[in-house]
Amino acid sequence: MNLKIAVVPGDGIGPDIVAQAIRVLDKVCQLNNHSVSYETVLAGGAAIDKVGVSLPPETLEVCKKSDAVLLGAVGGPKWDKVESSNRPEKALLGLRSGLGLFCNLRPAILYKQLKSACPLRSDIIGDGLDIMVVRELTGGIYFGKKGKSEDGNEAYDIMSYTRPEIERIARKAFEIAQKRNGKVTSVDKANVLETSRLWRATTEEVKKDYPDCSLDHLYVDNASMQLVRNPHQFDVILTENMFGDILSDEASMITGSIGMLPSASLREDSFGMYEPIHGSAPDIAGLDIANPIATILSIAMMLRYTFSLAKEADSVEAAVYQALEDGYRTPDIYTDGMIKVGTVGMGDAIVERI
Ligand code: NAI
Ligand code: MG
């Protein structure tokens, strides 16, 4: 297979962690006889410095022509005074909407080797955790009509969803659940919100096409409580944009370090954008201490969701698992007695284990 990747290293630790992810992808491709090509493009602060805009049109074009995008992170204090319409973070929103990426997957996995980093009691986490949050990414209140009254004393943001928007994200959730253990929990606020009643009815309709899956519904306030009370009841969480934003942050916290969590943003075809969930961490940029695992696990998601290379994806995840098992730790996940390594050292440990 030939893999055509657009690479957006971005700012801060972005270039450091992306470099390690590329080493991993190179090794996987070499071992499995795939060819891979990369085209590196500018976005975020790096793009502002070079060409004056955070998302140059050429970047979007190159991304559109690729099979998948690998993104580091964008932003940093250096660009805090840039006008808001051209902020580095705007590039991310521009990429997501410009590429039509309506489905955001955020797996929250707590490895058993890192249990001591989890803020929950050990009897609650048991042997580890593995939850997949499926968040709608281009609809809902974030994209609805917004405004304020002339006197400035009233403001509004309208939450709106159409049946097709709910259907397509629900299908994604069920397809993912089929590859896991078939359990989908849809989160809404159907006791109060009209959009949530449409959400609930539509997800029930879609479920009929997936007889091998189960579907439960929870109100979002209850779901946020259940996530810390008994996280093992969840496998796939399906939810709208804002609820997903909040719940995925909550879910990520129970896995210990933000440096561990990958994400995928997808649409109907196989195209996808893959990135760690953390930001550009300007406080540790260039120090060779950033944890590259979130970005490396994003490569595993790319292999799985864009290229349908499950065996190759498994091999990346297994190498990460083994590096942790063998005691390798970047400072953010370090505990006494382990082997402390930097960004490159963790990359070495993982590449060696593929
Ligand atoms: P952040 O995620 O960059 O950093 C939060 C804390 O986690 C920092 O102490 C950082 O050192 C640490 N951290 C993050 N990633 C790490 C890793 N891989 N290994 C070890 N430690 C890690 O969030 P923050 O500080 O709020 O934002 C910094 C900049 O990044 C801002 O400009 C923000 O807008 C931007 N940002 C960009 C995102 C993206 O590109 N997807 C997402 C979130 C923030
Ligand atoms: Mg958020």
- CATH number of the CATH domain containing 104: 3.40.718.10
User: CA-to-CA distance for 238 and 175, rounded, in angstroms?
Assistant: 12
User: CA-to-CA distance for 47 and 25, rounded, in angstroms?
Assistant: 25
User: CA-to-CA distance for 346 and 352, rounded, in angstroms?
Assistant: 10
pLDDT the model gives residue 85: 83
Q: Judge if the beta carbon of residue 91 lies within 6 A of ligand 1.
A: no
**Ion ligand 2: protein residues whose beta carbon lies under 5 Å:** 245
Query: Looking at the structure, do residues 139 and 242 belong to the same domain, yes or no?
Result: yes
Which of 254, 289, 317 terminates a domain? The answer is 254
Nearest CA to ligand 1 atom 11: 281
Query: Looking at the structure, do residues 282 and 354 belong to the same domain, yes or no?
Result: yes
Percent of the chain with pLDDT over 70: 100
Q: Cα of 31 to ligand 2 centre, how many Å?
A: 36
Q: Judge if the beta carbon of residue 14 lies within 6 A of ligand 1.
A: no
ipTM above 0.85, yes or no: yes
| Averaged pLDDT, 5-18 | 98
Query: Looking at the structure, do residues 267 and 248 belong to the same domain, yes or no?
Result: no
User: CA-to-CA distance for 139 and 83, rounded, in angstroms?
Assistant: 25
Which of 232, 254, 276 terminates a domain? The answer is 254
Containing domain of residue 168, as a range?
Answer: 119-254
pLDDT of 256 strictly over 80: no
User: CA-to-CA distance for 250 and 354, rounded, in angstroms?
Assistant: 31
- Convert the pLDDT of each residue in 153-189 to its tens digit: 999 999 999 999 999 999 999 999 998 999 999 999 9
Q: Judge if the beta carbon of residue 172 lies within 6 A of ligand 1.
A: no
Q: Which among 43, 54, 51, 45 has a CA at the least distance from the CA of 86?
A: 54
- Convert the pLDDT of each residue in 114-125 to its tens digit: 988 888 998 998
Q: Which amino acid is at 122?
A: S
Query: Looking at the structure, do residues 123 and 250 belong to the same domain, yes or no?
Result: yes
Number of separate domains in the chain: 2
Give the contacts of 155 (CB within 8 A, at least 6 positions apart). 146, 147, 148, 149
Nearest CA to ligand 1 atom 9: 281
Residue from 245, 334, 340, 348 carrying the catalytic annotation: 245
Which of 219, 254, 289 terminates a domain? The answer is 254
